Structure 1
């Protein structure tokens, strides 16, 4: 069928729809005309441009106003050409507890999720990019509705908002600094909130579960001819399965798009989150085996075996120390996050659009989480301006993109000694950090249709980064006057990231791509002020890390019954930044690894095995294999006055899970009086992995099973069609497993030079949290 036949059919439908709207009012008629116009434009573009890579889980259809608002500008994470992208839509998680974003992103190949610091915090790793970090996200760029939620220092936190707000999430895998800039070594994640047209009214829900979990949430949304909006709010709390863990957190999340005229559009975004979080201590491996959930750890004097403790100064200044459990010290976090952004688009013509976006992001933290509590205010500003032109280049259809960007972080933070006086036991000042981080530069991208089936993508990004911060550390020697030491850090970095890809529509159902991409990430400012001895000092010689990666992948789509993707990748890292513990009650420090290699395979499948006999049956699975190892790394260890180098060449990079699998078998009744009734069984497998550079200590692998039953009927006239229900069992067989493991420091015996083995490493504290035991959840949601 030619493009003109499709256009003619669409115009006929447009005429019919327009006729049907006579007498229904100008606003309704305009909305329908806009919807049909967007469909025509999209169908014409589809004939001239290869369709986007088929996601493992197809996203929900985008509302018409979103197509009209964003179709002309180059998309951030949807319809990405030449790179592996997986979209997980809310079909996969809307009838589940979705207590954290781990329940969403774990469904993408290449993504591993670990528990962060506390029961709601989540660490996300794409191809091992964030595996060594014990909280939040590093080395990936995170967005929400195309607005950045990664601050200019490279940190994003995933306890920011509630998964019930989202309609889909896009996971872009592979080094992507040409498109996303600093810290995009592993790729990018873009959470997309539910659209107002899909909500069309008010929805309210309540989820409850074990360990005191409760979440009340509501979503309001709607759309008109020139606008669309959604407003989400929730309050969630839980006690946590581990001793002295729990949280109470509230979230507001709003997104709206508005047409100011035929050529002008505006989008606005607001996120607000505030939470109180109780935290336990991380354990040694032996402590975990003895008491994984830290029962009976209320007081150090009467603590049960396996309880973790911290060492605090009795007077908060100097002198004698005492041991306290997490409950005695009331370890906690009280964080507040506010993000506000606005995006403006203007059409210069039918094929050219100018887009400018500004985002303000404020992170206010109060964290008595250890023996050195931390307070700070980190406000950031992010501005981008770009032009997209969909025209021709040398007579070939082409999409051209150029962007300028600038972001700035103002850091004002303080660390203190902890006293025995609980959560508010802030003693003498330990350090202050003041200064800023700035990133500025330009990006360009060209997508050229060489033949009807072959597309070339080329891009480049250039970025100037400046860290200008100063840290003052304070010491309080016994019998002497306090001292202070200033460590200034002024570091400037130039980074350039090219990329190129070919996309070939080999057959109608088969798309192939080959890509070379690059990524870079400068050190975080805090890494510049901790020496390898785990104390405050000058570590300002750190270099920016870089990687160059090759992707070869295929996407297969067989109608609505099979969607599959397979990607192989090989990445060469230079000066990879690795952080590890320096020992008990010492801070983690960072060093550069000269060379390392990351390589692996990712497979995703979404299959309807019996579309005729059982149209509601579906099998979804993802498989990821990672072989990450050092190729040039001499690690220096110190024991007393003796210092030695240990060769780590060929060793696996700790924290990276070699193999992980998610598989789900589901059935949802598609029609009839029981339409919407369904359930699934899910299996998660994680292989054992090392947690030290010498590869002497590994945490065991595990397999978890989850079950779910739900009723989510299609919209209709009856009251029952407005109610959804679910019940879930997480970790059905109550498996005890390591939910998170920080990297432990290796050591050696000074007298012999012999490196200590697993027997010693198993007693190093500050590493392990146990995963969630068997937990029951149930929820109800209604629509108005």
Structure 2
């Protein structure tokens, strides 16, 4: 397939149809919204000298899904006093950017970050390994990942929660803790460095002043779901403290999916002097969760929730029937792989597949004002991830401590005769860890057998970044940015096999059969430029054009399986790069109507793909030389009448390989398949979310409300050969709630809500990992198998989404 000549195409026609509703007269003011390019409002004329700007520390109020502050037409985009008071990363001028505010989601159950982020265009999701492990993707950036988040830098209150190897996880985030979430769409390495080739996400907790007391909430629902949480916060003098804690339990709607998670999230801000602010951050997350197997497409159709999948037969027709219905694992009976090993067919329930993980983050930031126009920030983060994960045929164990430090300076001044904001900084992060891969035992509580491999690895990133924001006129702002970074990986993997139960070898059971040591020492240099122009065409219309670049280096785990699918160095693996163009507009003709539209076109070079080259071989990572990602993102936020609100967003993704020859083999012969023009698997072309709500605005029933919500995802391929598709789905949720300020003794506010999710009880795919195409040898030629072979045999792919379930909650504010 080739580039479609009209980027907007049919997708933009669908998006623009949303504007028909805009003829209604505005009656209720919209809260401020941060969607599309960062909006700061304009300043007349050129600046002949640096402008002295007071930079008070601004706490963004809880508001709604929406764009930035109301335009201050006396300032150029990005140069209003409120905007200049924020750190550069908060609302970067010219960036395609959305802020979703927690206030809009206070009257509904919040199980994961999906409930917050689904109202940002360009963002899609799939279920990872656990109820809160949501794989978040921006423009398809992390769609190939089976767990966690890659190709996106994640932060919390400006502190990075992405480890130096590029992996982030949403397990540690309870969405009740957040005042808002900032989503940066498109390649963003100029501002966020390595692994921001898809964008970035910044979660913002509430301050003590915003909490101002004690809040207790409890949520409960189907399949044993229970979440008890509390938030305590206060600002006293020059100290602001906020502490959030939660305990979440769930039995799960799929067999072997029990979970038990505790989270503590604390932030303290101390205004030491009028010019010095110190911020302390602490996050603790403890997760224990059982884990089911992923299914093939046929298994999903026949038994989506894996009912009755307790103990697998070992042979005969019963085994065939069982495997048609249930996900299984095939592991050495005595835990020792290698010569003479006898395998046992087991189930997740029998083997006790699970995760038992801990994450601790301790961080501090010092901000010093040299004067009213110059601010210096320095921060240090210690991040420790300790995992025990017998999740499939193998178990991963390891402790990964990391350090992340940065320092930067921001100055409001001038560049020539133009007002400007200058930004420059340095950063360094490093992790050093030992990870173990062991065989999983066929029965027990996640028991493990012999060691398969041990990795000792060090990875570090050292870089600098700079940024110039220049007000060319009262309505036009230009931005230039650049990052330069060195990444170093030094690692050693030891791989082992053993003699097992076959006594004919004459070897003792458990004796080492083979050892393979693979050293790796790689250094990568990368640069990430960025340029944008933001133009306020009219007071109601803000437009932006942006050209930017992102990059993501390999991580140590990708460097130890070669292109033949065997243990060995894979050091030819290159950095993947993303160069993109964004063009967008935000139109706000009334305070009650906002419409945002962005078109994007991104060129990927050396995109990293992971799969097996053939039957019985290991998964390895390789580079697809060329691919393009292009599409359209739209958002509508409209309040036509008091109490009535419509929120909707739609994303169109059209992503194809432009240069890629895939190697797939049989036991005796290798075939090569040209994938140029094929769709990139795992990326749904169409994603849409919409909500219509009504809240009684006045009178005795003020605070009573309801909404109906619709989530849609189109079908998509999950293999490079575009043979097998995942079915589309549309899920409807309904909600009724009551939220009222009170004055009853210490009780200040009471909230209650009840929700039915998937009200029509549709069976839908919440997650589908990409699969490898299979081949057969026909008359001496390697031939790709059809869709039936993949639908039947490509297990390890699918988790079903929730059936109809009921959830509710209450919340008390003191």
TM-score normalised according to structure 2 size: 0.87
1:369 aligned to 2:391?
A: yes
Q: Within 5 Å, give how 1:148-167 maps onto structure 2.
A: 148-167=160-179
> In structure 2, how many angstroms separate the alpha carbons of the residues matched to 1:581 and 1:251?
37
Q: C-alpha distance in 1, partners of 2:739/2:619? A: 47
Contact 1:73/1:387 (<8 A) preserved: no
Q: 1:753 and 2:782 equivalent? A: yes
1:434 alignment partner in structure 2:
456
1:741 Cα deviation from its structure 2 partner = 0.6
Cα 1:35/1:355, change in 2 over 3 Å: closer
Q: Rate the CA distance shift 1:413–1:93 in 2: closer, same or farther, 3 A.
A: same
Q: Is the 8 A contact 1:72 1:353 kept in 2?
A: no
Give 3-state SS (helix, strand or coil) of 1:693's partner: coil
Residue 49 of structure 1 and its aligned partner are, at CA, apart by 3.4
Q: Paired residue for 2:325?
A: 306
Query: Whole-Å Cα distance in 1 between the matches of residues 457 and 127 of structure 2?
Result: 31
2:734 aligned with 1:707, yes or no? yes
Of 86, 98, 102, the match for 2:110: 98
What's the offset of the Cα at 1:753? 2.3
Call closer, same or farther: CA 1:74–1:497 in 2, change over 3 Å: same
Paired residue for 2:268?
Answer: 256
Give the aligned partner of residue 407 of structure 1.
429
Q: Is the counterpart of residue 133 in structure 1 residue 145 in structure 2?
A: yes
Moved more, 473-482 or 225-234: 473-482
The within-5 A match list for 1:283-294 is: 283-294=295-306
Map 1:343-742 onto structure 2 (within 5 A). 343-478=365-500, 479=505, 480=507, 481-482=511-512, 483-532=514-563, 534-581=565-612, 587-610=618-641, 615-714=642-741, 716=743, 722-742=749-769
CA offset at residue 345 of structure 1?
0.7
Deviations 1:555-592 (A, max 9, x none): 11234201121100000000000123557886532110
Three-state SS of the structure 1 residue aligned to 2:165 is coil
Does the Cα contact within 8 Å between 1:120 and 1:247 map onto a contact in 2? no
Task: Tell me what 2:65 maps to.
Answer: none
Partner Cα distance (2:723, 2:648) in 1: 32
Structure 1 residues 527-536 or 402-411, which shifts more?
Answer: 527-536
Q: CA deviation at 1:720?
A: 7.5
Instruction: State the 1:225 CA deviation.
Output: 3.6
How far apart are 1:218 and its partner, in Å?
0.2
Q: CA deviation at 1:424?
A: 4.2
Range with greater deviation from structure 2 (743-752 or 549-558): 743-752
- Tell me if the contact between 2:42 and 2:76 (Cα under 8 Å) persists in the aligned partners: no
Mapped to 2, the partners of 1:404 and 1:678 lie a distance apart of: 49
* 1:117 paired residue number: 129
Structure 2 unaligned segments of length 5 or more: list them: 1-40, 45-55, 62-68
Residue 644 (structure 1) shift: 1.3
Structure 1 residue runs of 5 or longer lacking an equivalent are 5-32, 54-66
2:796 pairs with 1:766: yes
The answer to whether the 8 A contact 2:602-2:630 is kept is yes
Shift of 1:773: 0.9
Q: Where does residue 246 of structure 1 map in the other structure?
A: 258
Q: Distance in 1 between the 2:57 and 2:487 partners?
A: 43
User: Given that residues 207 and 214 in structure 1 are in contact (C-alpha distance below 8 angstroms), is that contact kept between their aligned partners in structure 2?
Assistant: yes
CA contact (8 A) 1:152 1:439 kept: yes
Change (3 A) 1:34 1:111: closer
SS in 2 for 1:712: strand
Decide whether the 8 Å contact of 1:310 with 1:585 is kept in 2.
no
Alpha-carbon distance in 2 for matches of 1:2, 1:727: 44
Classify 1:719/1:349 alpha carbon distance in 2 versus 1 (closer, same or farther; 3 Å).
closer
Q: Secondary structure at the match of 1:766?
A: coil
Secondary structure at the aligned position of 2:694 is classed as: strand
Report the alpha carbon displacement of residue 672 of structure 1 after superposing the two structures with TM: 2.5
Q: Secondary structure at the match of 1:722?
A: strand
Query: Counterpart of 1:626 in 2: which secondary structure?
Result: strand
1:79-90 aligned within 5 A? 79-90=91-102
Write the distance in 2 (CA, Å) between the matches of 1:414 and 1:696: 36
Partner of 1:47: helix, strand, or coil? coil
Partner of 1:18: none
Distance 1:94-1:618 versus aligned 2 partners, 3 A rule: same
1:316 to 332, 335, 338: 335
1:376-402 C-alpha deviation (Å, 9 max, x unpaired) = 011110000000001111121100000
How many residues get paired?
733
Query: Residue 762 of structure 1 aligns to a residue in which SS?
Result: helix
Would you say 1:74 and 2:74 are equivalent positions?
Answer: no
Q: How does 1:13-24 map to 2 (within 5 A)?
A: none
Q: Which residue of 2 aligns with 1:168?
A: 180
Is 2:43–2:475's contact at 8 Å kept on the other side of the alignment? no
Which of 174, 199, 202 is the equivalent residue of 2:214?
202
Name the CA shift for 1:720/1:349 in 2 (closer, same or farther; >3 Å).
closer
Q: Distance in 1 between matches of 2:325 and 2:549?
A: 45
Counterpart CA distance in 1 for 2:177 and 2:79 is: 25
The farther-off stretch of 582-591 and 138-147 is 582-591
* 3-state DSSP of counterpart to 1:104: helix
Give, in angstroms, the shift of residue 71 of structure 1. 5.7
Single out whichever of 419-428 and 454-463 deviates more from structure 2.
Answer: 419-428
Give CA deviations for 1:532-570 in whole Å, capped at 9, x if unaligned: 454432222100000100000001123420112110000
Q: Shift of the alpha carbon at 1:216?
A: 0.2
Structure 1 residues 771 and 424: CA distance shift in structure 2, 3 A: closer
**Whole-angstrom CA distance in 2 between matches of 1:264 and 1:541:** 47
**How many Å separate the matches in 1 of 2:719 and 2:186?**
25
Q: Supply the distance in 2 between the matched residues of 1:723 and 1:588 (Cα, whole angstroms).
A: 52
Q: TM-score scaled by structure 1? A: 0.90
Cα distance in structure 2, aligned partners of 1:272 and 1:373: 23
Query: Where do 1:25-44 residues align within 5 Å?
Result: none
Secondary structure of the residue aligned to 2:350 is helix
Root-mean-square deviation over aligned CA pairs: 2.3
Alpha-carbon separation, structure 2, partners of 1:341 and 1:701: 42
d(CA) in 2 for partners of 1:477, 1:413: 23
Per the TM alignment, residue 258 of structure 1 is displaced from its structure 2 partner at its CA by 1.3
From the superposition, tell whether residues 294 and 495 of structure 1 become closer, same or farther in structure 2 (CA, over 3 Å): same
Distance 1:146 1:2 in 2: 27
Distance 2:257 2:285 in 1: 19
Larger RCO (CA under 8 A, 6+ residues apart): 2
- In 1, the alpha carbon distance for the partners of 2:236 and 2:415 equals 37
- Cα gap change, 1:168 to 1:585, in 2 (>3 Å): farther
Task: Compare 177-186 and 666-675 and name the one that shifted more.
Answer: 666-675
SS in 1 for 2:382: strand
SS in 2 for 1:198: helix
Per-residue deviation at 1:152? 0.5
Cα distance in 2 for residues equivalent to 1:586 and 1:416: 18
Over residues 494-542 of structure 1, what are the superposed CA-to-partner deviations in whole Å (9 max), with x where a residue is unaligned? 0001000000011111100000000000012111112345443222210
Secondary structure, aligned partner of 2:190: helix
The residue aligned with 2:808 is: 778
Worse-superposed segment, 670-679 or 254-263: 670-679
> Are the aligned partners of 1:73 and 1:355 in contact in 2 as well (CA < 8 Å)?
no
